């Protein structure tokens, strides 16, 4: 397993964190290339932070974080440029990752969706609304390789 089981992780804080390096982003149309943006949605803060740090620090992506589906919806609805959604299925109370994926497909169809779950029997249902499925536990490197296939770093402007 990545970092342990959910019960060992403790409570999460409801917050949205932008974990991109370098402060402010250049304005659209400035001619400066910015890395593609991944929105990581995971209710377990230690897992969310570890995945986000790996995608940002080791792979060069811009990463936004949300602790639940509702936070993720707010990020997308406010016009934040997101290229890929990486969501767990079980997000604690409220919206599930599958509900979020369906909402994203309907409201922001250009965003690629990768879903992770420890329940492999859900894979057929997940693959019908996503661009990829990762069974937990998974390696960070395996995830990063898959994300690079969907979202090459050269793709963003």
Residue 21 resides in a domain: no
Residue 75 resides in a domain: yes
Residue 83 resides in a domain: yes
Determine the Cα–Cα distance for residues 153 and 147; give it in Å rounded to an integer. 10
What 3-state class would DSSP assign to 144? helix
Q: Is the pLDDT of residue 10 over 60?
A: no
Mean pLDDT for 86-103 is 94
Q: Against a cut of 0.95, is the pTM above it?
A: no
> Is residue 69 a contact partner of residue 94, using CB atoms and an 8 Å limit?
yes
Q: Is the pLDDT of residue 2 over 80?
A: no
CATH of the domain at 137: 3.40.50.2300
Residue numbers of the domain that contains 58: 34-150
Residue 121 resides in a domain: yes
Per-chain mean pLDDT for the chain: 79
Residue 6 resides in a domain: no
Residue 156 resides in a domain: no
CB atoms within 10 A of CB 116: 26
Residue 122 Cα to chain centre, angstroms: 19
Determine the Cα–Cα distance for residues 102 and 108; give it in Å rounded to an integer. 10
Instruction: Output the pLDDT for position 33.
Output: 73
Q: Is the pLDDT of residue 114 over 50?
A: yes
Q: What's the domain count of the chain?
A: 1
């Amino acid at each position: 397993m990545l970092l342990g089981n959910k019960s060992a992780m403790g409570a999460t804080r409801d917050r949205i964190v932008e974990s991109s390096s370098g402060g402010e982003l250049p304005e659209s149309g400035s001619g400066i290339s910015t890395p593609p943006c991944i929105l990581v949605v995971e209710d377990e803060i230690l897992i969310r932070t570890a995945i986000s740090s790996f995608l940002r620090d080791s792979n060069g992506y811009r990463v936004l974080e949300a602790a639940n589906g509702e936070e993720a919806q707010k990020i997308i609805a406010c016009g934040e440029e997101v290229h890929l959604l990486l969501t767990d299925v079980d997000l604690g109370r409220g919206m599930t990752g599958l509900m979020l994926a369906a909402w994203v497909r309907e409201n922001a169809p250009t965003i690629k969706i990768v879903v992770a779950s420890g329940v492999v029997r859900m894979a057929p249902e997940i693959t019908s609304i996503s661009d990829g499925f990762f069974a937990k536990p998974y390696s960070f490197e395996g995830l990063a390789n898959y994300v690079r296939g969907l979202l090459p770093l050269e793709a963003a402007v």
